[in-house]
Amino acid sequence: MHAYRDQYAQTFNSGQDVVLIAISADPIQELYEWARDDQFQFLMASDSALEVGRMYGALSPRGPLTNRNMFVIGPDGRIAHRAVPFREIDPTAYEELAEAIQRTLPPDTAQ
């Protein structure tokens, strides 16, 4: 989450025509405090019932845990890019993510 925060302008087009929603199974109060304390500039949502995780195939086969996955949803509402699992420690993963986001942006707003 800190990498998303620190690379927000570059990777997520400074939020222009991009909405980043981090979805976690953690309770909403924990997510709120974490977002506030670490100054995340994006939305966080709680999926404590794991409904979204099930819909996107993000549940781990080892139990009721979620994998770290990244989905880019295009303006048409369809998945434009999948990183399953997302390689958060690999710098090239962020480059791939930024490129996928840029492809979904209108030509006049892409950086």
Mean pLDDT of 63-67: 67
Cα–Cα dist 11/34, whole Å: 21
Average pLDDT for 32-37: 94
Domains located in the chain, CATH noted: 2-104 (3.40.30.10)
Mapping DSSP onto H, E and C, the string for 29-67 reads: HHHHHHHHHHCCCCEEEECCCCHHHHHCCCECCCCCCEC
Q: What is the pLDDT of residue 32?
A: 94
Q: Span 66-75, mean pLDDT?
A: 83
Instruction: Look over the chain and give the mean of its residue pLDDT values, rounded to a whole number.
Output: 86
pLDDT band of residue 111 (cuts 50, 70, 90) is low
- Taking only the tens place, the pLDDT of each residue in 1-29 is 888 888 888 888 888 888 888 888 889 99
The average pLDDT across 23-47 equals 91
The answer to whether 17 and 109 are in contact (CB under 8 A) is yes
Q: Please list, in sequence order, all residues whose beta carbon lies within 8 angstroms of the beta carbon of residue 67, skipping any fewer than 6 positions away.
A: 58, 59, 60, 84, 85
> What would the mean pLDDT of 87-95 be, rounded to a whole number?
88
Q: What is the mean pLDDT of residues 73-86?
A: 87
Between CA 69 and CA 57 the distance in angstroms is 9
